[in-house]
Amino acid sequence: MSQGNLLLLYALVSILALIVLIARYRLNPFITITLVSLGLALMAGVPAPDIVLAYERGVGKTLGHIALIVALGTMLGKMLAESGGAERIARTLIGFFGPRNVHWAMMLVAFCVGLPIFFEVGFVLLIPIVFNVARRTGVSLLLVGLPMVAGLSVVHGLVPPHPAAMLAVGAYQADVGRTLFYALLVGLPTAALAGPLFARLVVKRVPLAADNPMQAALVGSGFAEVGDEQLPGFGISVSTLLLPVLLMLLGGWANDLSTPGSALNHALLFAGNSVVALLLATLLSFATLGWMRGFNREQILRFSQECLAPTAAITLLVGAGGGLNGILVESGVAREITALSQQLQLSPLWMGWSIAALLRIATGSATVAMSTAAGIVAPIALAAGYPQPELLVLATGAGSLILSHVNDGGFWLVKEYFNLSVAQTFKTWTVLETLISITALVLVLALEKAL
């Protein structure tokens, strides 16, 4: 067997080891990815002194930008929750759509609220609203909850400023504004199909238990009814939430709106940077959703500090994925995957989706799958001069969402909060994620032909 085939075999063994250790033995994903990365480097013959350095370089390259996105996005989400802004958005949209179309309202709520924050954070923020809405309208929890998780998942995988999408934007040298525009074109119909439409179909086939301990706990005590007069306005809540999106759109169109090199052009590019856009939105939230809501400086400081603790595990996991990517590159595995894909004559678009899908199934993390796949595919796409790097971001993101199963934290979140069995979670959440992945890929391919 040639050295190249051996490297591919080592990579396959490593992926299988990830699946077994995480899914079967429930080991910590960060520890598991780190151990498997080091083991892969040893099997591939990377010199021992270079192994940890390669892993650290991968971690540092990934977290150098992503940690800032995670921290700022989480702070913004926390202010939205503490002020009642998320509840205001939910009530307004539900009132607009009516009880019969509440599943469409929840999809849009999740799509908006999920823009600056991770899936897990958005899920925890919105699940009390889902419980409350299901109780008020008397519909199945799945009819309200599945559109919510569909909206969050689509935003998580496809739409900047989510960290994985931003990593892919950087790797493919794509334009943030155009990526965001195309992501909305692809993401909204995808979320509609996998959310409200799929929920209508599956709700009759998956009966829920009468008692849901999590629903009773959150609605019964921790999420009491609040009068409309006690909530912030809809306009100020949405404006604060969507400010980073607007700034990034302006940054993406800076060269069209102003003369390149001018002071205005530089200002638009600076404000449109994802970190600066989120920082400005977070500072605005301290005023609009903090001081204007009666919170003092000490309370705002506490909100901004305590919300960071849950992101530690997410940040470490993203860093570990970057470390694995560093080992794949250092060991030559990425080069062999590239050569194999060239032999199969896959287009960069199909390559991005396929590699991300394989990594998603192996690691359970959409963020790790998307960031690692982008690191592998980007050199090929850049060398080939692929003309639509923004579509590469979307195709890779679509692949990173496929076939969520027991090694994915989102699988267990949905199971426990919705009080489902493992089999029911496969029928609902796993199918929903796969539907998102395939639908988004089809729409991206259609968009590629249209452009």
Does 184 score more than 70 pLDDT?
yes
pLDDT for 264: 92
Instruction: Name the residue with higher pLDDT: 98 or 164.
Output: 98
Q: Tell me the average pLDDT across 269-284.
A: 89
Q: How far apart are CA 119 and CA 170, in angstroms?
A: 21
Alpha carbons within 13 A on the beta-carbon side of 292: 17
pLDDT digits (tens, 9 = 90+) for 28-69: 878 888 998 899 899 988 898 899 999 998 888 778 767 887
Helical segments of 332-365, H only: 333-343, 348-363
Burial of 123 (0-12, 13-18, 19+ CB in 10 A): buried
Averaged pLDDT, 231-237: 88
Q: Is the pLDDT of residue 337 over 90?
A: no
pLDDT digits (tens, 9 = 90+) for 382-431: 887 888 999 999 999 999 999 887 667 788 778 878 888 878 888 999 99
d(CA 316, CA 320): 6
Answer yes or no: is pLDDT of 218 > 60. Answer: no
Residue entry with tokens 């909060």: 417
Q: What percent of the chain lies above the pLDDT cut of 90?
A: 27
d(CA 205, CA 198): 11
What is residue 104's predicted lDDT score, i.e. its pLDDT?
Answer: 92
C-alpha–C-alpha distance, residues 324 and 36, integer Å: 8
- Tell me the HSE value of 54 on the side-chain side, using a 13 A CA sphere: 22
Q: Averaged over 89-100, what is the pLDDT?
A: 81
- When comparing pLDDT for 228 and 306, which is higher? 306
Q: Cα separation of 153 and 155, whole Å? A: 5
Q: What is the average pLDDT score of the chain?
A: 84
Neighbours of 259 (CB within 10 A): 10
Q: Compute, in degrees rounded to 10, the torsion defined by CA atoms 330, 437, 156, 321.
A: -20
Percentage of the chain surpassing pLDDT 70? Answer: 91
**Using 50, 70 and 90 to split pLDDT, how confident is the model at 150?**
very high
pLDDT computed for residue 365 by the predictor: 77
Cβ density class 34-73: b for 16+ within 10 Å, e for less: bbbbbbbbebbebeeeebeebbebbbebbbeebebbbbbb
Nearest to 293 by CA among 303, 308, 279, 305: 303
The winner for highest mean pLDDT among 197-206, 217-226, 342-351 is: 197-206
Tokens of 370: 């998307």
| pLDDT beyond 90 at 138 | no
SS3 212: coil
- Both tokens assigned to 120: 């897990």
Which among 259, 255, 289 is positioned nearest to 88, based on CA atoms? 289
Decide if 243 contacts 272 (C-beta within 8 A): no
Task: Look at residue 152 in the predicted model and tell me its pLDDT.
Answer: 93
Which residues are within 8 A (CB) of 365 and not within 5 positions of it... i.e. 6 or more apart? 29, 317, 318, 321, 408
Other beta carbons less than 10 A from residue 98's beta carbon:
11
End-to-end CA, the chain:
43
> Coil, strand, or helix at residue 98?
coil
Q: CA-CA distance, 136 to 100, in Å (whole number)?
A: 12
pLDDT at 99: 79
- Rounded to 10°, the helix 176-192/431-450 angle is 130
pLDDT at residue 222 is higher than 50: no
At 217 the pLDDT is 57
Which has more confidence, 24 or 167?
A: 167
216 SS3 class: helix
Q: Say how many residues make up the chain.
A: 451
Name the helix (H) or strand (E) containing 215.
helix 213-217
Longest dimension (CA), the chain: 72
Among the residue ranges 89-93, 177-181, 264-268, 421-425, the one predicted with the least confidence is 89-93
pLDDT at 335 over 80: no
For the stretch 384-408, what's the b/e string if a residue is b when 16 or more beta carbons lie within 10 angstroms of its beta carbon?
Answer: eebebbbbbbbbbbbbbbbebbbbb
- Residue 255 in this model has a pLDDT that exceeds 70: yes
User: Any alpha helices (H) in 232-272, and if so which ranges?
Assistant: 234-252, 254-257, 263-271
Q: Does position 148 have pLDDT exceeding 90, yes or no?
A: yes
Q: Look at residue 113 and tell me whether its pLDDT is greater than 70.
A: yes
